[in-house]
Amino acid sequence: MLDPLQIIRLVEDNMRAHGLPFPAPRESLYSWAKPLNLPEKGSPMIYTGGLYQLTPYIVSVVESLSKTEDLRLTSMAFRASRLLSALGLSGLVVRPKADVASYIERVLRSIVELLREAGVKVAYAYEDDMYSGVILYDLGLDSLFKENAVKVYRALKSRGAEVIITVDPHTTHIMRSVYPKYVEGYDLKVKSYLEVLAETGFKVERRDRGDIVIHDPCLYARFESIIEQPRTLLGNAGFKVLEPRRSGRMTYCCGGPIEGLAPKIAKTIAKTRLSELAEKPGVIVTMCPICYANLKAVSDEKVEIEDIALLLRG
């Protein structure tokens, strides 16, 4: 267990300094889309909220922080914040995990290409693709979350967004089900790209691409009722979708949401889930960067894990 107050301060300080929860360059959020030259205004608009792009940074923050996790943290240590000075968290320099970073770029570009193939032309706000505030909400930093949400909403509206297309379950949930409670007059229509693709009847003319084991992300399955869409899309792309023991509405968490505070518990949960997914043959498919990173971190070379966008794109 890490000291929650340190994490809270780290996130707060970084948000105030440059609008991102971790020390990462602003550009890291939109550089993936530079070569695509998407229109910078209009609707529907892709809104990533930054979760995919921040994942390589989160992975390295967690890696450096978890070195202190095993020290026995008594209430004294928490209060005196000895670790804070030992680690120099405020001046923490974070190098993104390079392999994860390039993977994520490929995922995001594939999503845009998939939408294009399905006949959906999207705009993208580049500098105004701001961080959604998922972590602020999860840490209970409500006033900062609200402040940020209002900014995000205004920026998207100023770019002409009416419908936003989200790319991960956390951002989908926060934009669709949480923002309306915090932002007055909120009127954005929010859809996950998986919903958009499924609505268009998107199909890839390929057959017999083998077995895959589906890992439903908690927020899609239980909070946003996105369960059938990925199955239909994967089926249409020639895969045989296998269900793990716990799937759909009763899917099992990858442990990711607490990796920042309790990496050891998060990894224990990830192992439990991974071994369950590996009971079936086939590539494990994820739809969330946090699931991807967390399951990947506890797997060996024998297990193949792939983001749904890359599988659909094939």
Partner 1 sequence: MTLKFEAWKAFEDIYDVLGNQEFQEALKRASTNNQAKVAKLLHERPELLGFAEEVRDLKRRSIEALGELIGKAMESLERAAAKPYYAGTAEEARTLIGKIIGSGKRIVMSKSMAATEIGLRSYLESLGNEVWETDLGEFLIQLEGSKPMHAIAPAVHMTREKASTLVAEKIKVQISRGSVEETVSAVRRFLRDKITTADVGISGANALAADTGAIVLVENESNIRLVTSTPPVHVAVVPVDKIVPTLVDAFKVAIVQAAYAGLYPPTYINIIAGPSSTADIEQVRVYGAQGPRELHVILLDNGRLKASRDPALKEQLYCIRCGRCQFECPVWVHTANTWGGPTYGGPMGIVWTAITLDPVEAGKLSYLCLGCGRCDEACPMNINISRELRHLKTLATQALRRS
Residue 5, token pair as written in the block: 């107050």
| Closest distance to partner 1 from the beta carbon of 93 (Å) | 25
The helix/strand/coil state of 191 is strand
| Closest distance to partner 1 from the beta carbon of 77 (Å) | 9
Q: What is the 3-state secondary structure (H, E, C) of 81-130?
A: CHHHHHHCHHHCCCCCCHHHHHHHHHHHHHHHHHHHHCCCCCEECHHHCC
The helix/strand/coil state of 241 is strand
Instruction: Determine the interface stretch with partner 1 among 56-64, 65-73, 106-114, 301-309 (rule: CB under 8 A).
Output: 65-73
Q: Report the residue from 108, 197, 261, 298 that binds partner 1 according to the rule CB under 8 A.
A: 261
Which residue number, 6 or 28, has a Cβ lying nearer to partner 1? 6
Taking phi first (over 0 means left), then psi (-120 to 50 degrees means alpha), and beta for anything else, what does residue 42 get? left
Q: Report the residue from 36, 66, 78, 209 that binds partner 1 according to the rule CB under 8 A.
A: 78
Contact flags string 120-159 toward partner 1, x per CB under 8 A: -----------------xxxxxx-----------------
Q: Is 26 in the site for partner 1 (CB under 8 A)?
A: no
Question: Which sign does the torsion angle of CA 226, 229, 231, 237 carry?
Answer: negative
Alpha carbons 156 and 232: distance in angstroms, whole number = 30
Q: How many residues comprise the chain?
A: 314
Q: State how beta strands 163-166 and 283-286 pair.
A: unpaired
Q: Report the residue from 97, 159, 222, 296 that binds partner 1 according to the rule CB under 8 A.
A: 222
Q: Is 84 in the site for partner 1 (CB under 8 A)?
A: no
Q: Report the residue from 62, 253, 277, 311 that binds partner 1 according to the rule CB under 8 A.
A: 253
Under the rule (CB under 8 A), what is the footprint of partner 1?
1, 4-5, 8, 70, 72-75, 78-79, 137-142, 218-219, 222-223, 249-250, 252-253, 255-258, 261-262, 264-265, 268-269, 272-273
